[in-house]
Structure 1
């Protein structure tokens, strides 16, 4: 064969490979080996392809092909009905080329997000790490860690991959996400997939579509108070565009959230921000999935009231339907913004989900949450949710209660438990009108329900709070 013919054949082969590559059907990184798809659901599989290209997607659980064509924007998507928990399966995507995704399980999929306390791994240092890491061999628990990225507009893909839970993979994954997933796996006996999209030090605004922030003057003002830091973005939407938007509409059972430490510069605005984030995500996904969050732990260096105000804003966010809150003030560390007890945080989130999402009502969902108050002469009686079986004090007497009259001057109060209520009074306050509990930055609770979970801090007033931030 002449040299010119060889060169021509090589040229044609290369040209054909380039054309084939250009026409190749592709899928985002969230679709890869070892992934978990939400069971008993209609899940969306999507990707890119040549405009007009016929794309066929088949799940091996029923071998029923679903066909579509790539749009004039070179995008395609299909919906597959998944079976009850099981696997492993394959998902085959066929266009001009073929993609086979192996070792696919169907089970429960949860998205975990927030800042450093959600991102914190066993490798970073947690209580009982030496005992927990070697036990992390769970073939039916899978992790997907989203790499840190920012963007100015919604992205189509992100960096990450699904991995099977082993001592090595667990060590570098969100500890809370792992312990949550393990508890669900044990209780429900189904595969569990946890997607972790977190970034330490980030304020809540970066995780919301920036249009939501721009459309609300309270949120706009609060976002403007954020100061540049070297360890992450502060501008609205930067992480949302790059680390949340590319996951949509991957079907999830619900979301977990542990964030707020970086919003203590405008703590009262968080009562607007968190519901806005929840509603934004639900709107983008197209359905109202459960959203469970962790109340930030006490920490001495926020300032005297910033932490209390932020925690109270989180408590108020429970007015958003389909939400739940885990209180961790009893397992925090006043001297460390990163408490190392992640095991109990994960378990409490799992109990909350098991109770509210999966109907396991024997699991304790929450500690006491203030509901209402009644003035009885010189006393105030406080009523709580999640106190049906009674309240208990861990210690000889209840502490951290304050009471005030119309002068708004709070003084230390005596408090006692009467059944599932608390009665509060102070000798110097003859006509009480307001009560606060744990109303400082670094405090430790001793009011619990019979399930052993601590009460959230709260205040019954809405008076302005002078604070040193």
Structure 2
């Protein structure tokens, strides 16, 4: 009798195309318990199922149900509206089977990406690591670490899971992202979701769709110069396909980017590469999210000027709308490409976001950024953004200014602060036409604004330069 029952049950399963045991409604890894969804937004939830499988998604914050039907390609997606910050909530996805996502928070979600300085964790070594790890119990700050993978085409899913911040989870998470998220959490009093998709030693090209690189001769030539290394991919799109594409279109408030050291191979092209990355990501997501990046710190790079040329390319990338840059020249280490002060990096990123994205008044948003120059006889007057409250020198006199005439020969110049401007002169240059500031790989300038943030290196000229 038992044998007959088993045969009958097997027959019913095989003949019933909607039998629960054959159901396969599923979700990408980014949708899981403990996740954070962007507040006050229309967010997309997507997944897979059997063709024509009816799908319903119910959100506990409003008890609303949104329905969809799985496509012939076994894909489905719905859009749900999120409330203001809060939680925990549940999200129930029902097809032929049911998935219930629990402990879901609503708050602010940020994607962070780049190479080793973004990936760098407390376990790898940061200032005051033991103390910071011990006090990392923030249950409403959530982490998602994307696993390292590569592919030659965009993938549907990635590796990772959402976890709450604790000493056990924070120690291996991006330290910069954690300090950024902690500051936002404390200032905004909302849950924070941080998605870390970074890989040490990777050039920016691996984070860009290969079609974008191939469509531009300069970018294609620069990508070809990237050397083969043991610690990560070098070819365009390898990380984008596996570590970015599967996240699209998960709703984020913005992106943080800390990368550039591996692009000193062709530093001038970074002025085109970084904007291309920003614009292509925004195009993929379908909206113009804020994109804030860190300027690489002073370091003893192999060739003279390759580091400062990269920094200047980053500065010029601020022409892209809704971007911001944190300058790190005062908290770097010229002997260590991985400076251990990640707290101030995170706080500077947070101040940018608090001011530019959330409209909050903060004590220091950015260091002085060169805006324009005017020649006044045998002198040059420099004007800066983020200098409204005035400029200051940390030390007796300003250093690292150079001036040149039409002969393009730069000499050290005397620099004097005049309110929110700086006046440059040299007896060796009677008719100045160009100024450079902090123009070397290891320059640690002493020009700050009154808020205490350092000025970016810059040059006023566009004369051709090649790293020597």
Category of TM-score, reference length = shorter chain: over 0.9
How far residue 464 of structure 1 moved from its aligned partner, in angstroms, is 1.5
Structure 1 pair 207–79 and aligned structure 2 pair: CA distance change class (3 A):
same
| Counterpart contact for 1:355–1:364, Cα < 8 Å | no
| Counterpart contact for 1:352–1:363, Cα < 8 Å | no
Classify the secondary structure of the residue corresponding to 2:124: helix
Aligned to 1:5: 4
Classify the secondary structure of the residue corresponding to 1:301: coil
Aligned to 1:385: 385
How far residue 23 of structure 1 moved from its aligned partner, in angstroms, is 2.9
Classify the secondary structure of the residue corresponding to 2:341: coil
How far residue 467 of structure 1 moved from its aligned partner, in angstroms, is 1.9
Aligned to 1:197: 197
Aligned to 1:234: 234
Aligned to 1:114: 114
Give the CA RMSD over aligned residues. Answer: 1.5
Aligned to 2:304: 304
Where do 1:11-22 residues align within 5 Å? 11-12=10-11, 20=20, 22=22
CA-to-aligned-CA distance 1:54-78 (integer Å, 9 cap, x gap): 1000110001110010011110000
| Counterpart contact for 2:392–2:450, Cα < 8 Å | yes
State how far apart, in whole Å, the 2-side matches of 1:374 and 1:7 are: 90
State how far apart, in whole Å, the 2-side matches of 1:300 and 1:12 are: 72
| Counterpart contact for 2:446–2:454, Cα < 8 Å | yes
State how far apart, in whole Å, the 2-side matches of 1:185 and 1:447 are: 31
| Counterpart contact for 1:110–1:195, Cα < 8 Å | yes
Q: TM-score, normalised on structure 2?
A: 0.98
Aligned to 2:246: 246
How far residue 302 of structure 1 moved from its aligned partner, in angstroms, is 3.8
How far residue 365 of structure 1 moved from its aligned partner, in angstroms, is 1.5
How far residue 465 of structure 1 moved from its aligned partner, in angstroms, is 1.6
Where do 1:343-354 residues align within 5 Å? 343-354=343-354
Structure 1 pair 302–354 and aligned structure 2 pair: CA distance change class (3 A):
farther
Aligned to 2:258: 258
How far residue 171 of structure 1 moved from its aligned partner, in angstroms, is 0.3
Structure 1 pair 387–35 and aligned structure 2 pair: CA distance change class (3 A):
same
Aligned to 2:213: 213
Where do 1:21-420 residues align within 5 Å? 22-420=22-420
Where do 1:440-459 residues align within 5 Å? 440-459=440-459
How far residue 8 of structure 1 moved from its aligned partner, in angstroms, is 2.4
State how far apart, in whole Å, the 1-side matches of 2:19 and 2:266 are: 54
State how far apart, in whole Å, the 2-side matches of 1:114 and 1:163 are: 21
| Counterpart contact for 1:302–1:441, Cα < 8 Å | no
| Counterpart contact for 2:60–2:90, Cα < 8 Å | yes
How far residue 180 of structure 1 moved from its aligned partner, in angstroms, is 0.3
| Counterpart contact for 2:19–2:96, Cα < 8 Å | no
How far residue 218 of structure 1 moved from its aligned partner, in angstroms, is 1.0
Classify the secondary structure of the residue corresponding to 2:181: helix
How far residue 304 of structure 1 moved from its aligned partner, in angstroms, is 1.4
State how far apart, in whole Å, the 1-side matches of 2:321 and 2:64 are: 37
How far residue 19 of structure 1 moved from its aligned partner, in angstroms, is 6.3
State how far apart, in whole Å, the 1-side matches of 2:419 and 2:78 are: 55
CA-to-aligned-CA distance 1:413-454 (integer Å, 9 cap, x gap): 111100000111111111111100010000112000011000
CA-to-aligned-CA distance 1:318-357 (integer Å, 9 cap, x gap): 0000000000010000000000000000000000000000
Comparing 359-368 with 25-34, greater Cα deviation is found at 359-368
Classify the secondary structure of the residue corresponding to 2:64: coil
Classify the secondary structure of the residue corresponding to 1:213: helix
Structure 1 pair 116–17 and aligned structure 2 pair: CA distance change class (3 A):
farther
Classify the secondary structure of the residue corresponding to 2:190: coil
Structure 1 pair 72–169 and aligned structure 2 pair: CA distance change class (3 A):
same
Structure 1 pair 372–168 and aligned structure 2 pair: CA distance change class (3 A):
same
CA-to-aligned-CA distance 1:1-45 (integer Å, 9 cap, x gap): 36x536625755885899645532101000000000000000000
How far residue 382 of structure 1 moved from its aligned partner, in angstroms, is 0.4
State how far apart, in whole Å, the 1-side matches of 2:379 and 2:395 are: 22
Paired residues, number: 467
How far residue 301 of structure 1 moved from its aligned partner, in angstroms, is 2.3
How far residue 361 of structure 1 moved from its aligned partner, in angstroms, is 2.6
Structure 1 pair 302–107 and aligned structure 2 pair: CA distance change class (3 A):
farther
State how far apart, in whole Å, the 1-side matches of 2:424 and 2:22 are: 72
| Counterpart contact for 1:38–1:82, Cα < 8 Å | yes
Structure 1 pair 12–126 and aligned structure 2 pair: CA distance change class (3 A):
farther
| Counterpart contact for 1:85–1:190, Cα < 8 Å | yes
Structure 1 pair 57–340 and aligned structure 2 pair: CA distance change class (3 A):
same
Structure 2: stretches of 5+ with no match in the other structure: none
State how far apart, in whole Å, the 1-side matches of 2:428 and 2:143 are: 56
Aligned to 2:434: 434
State how far apart, in whole Å, the 2-side matches of 1:46 and 1:358 are: 28
| Counterpart contact for 2:18–2:96, Cα < 8 Å | no
Structure 1 pair 191–431 and aligned structure 2 pair: CA distance change class (3 A):
same
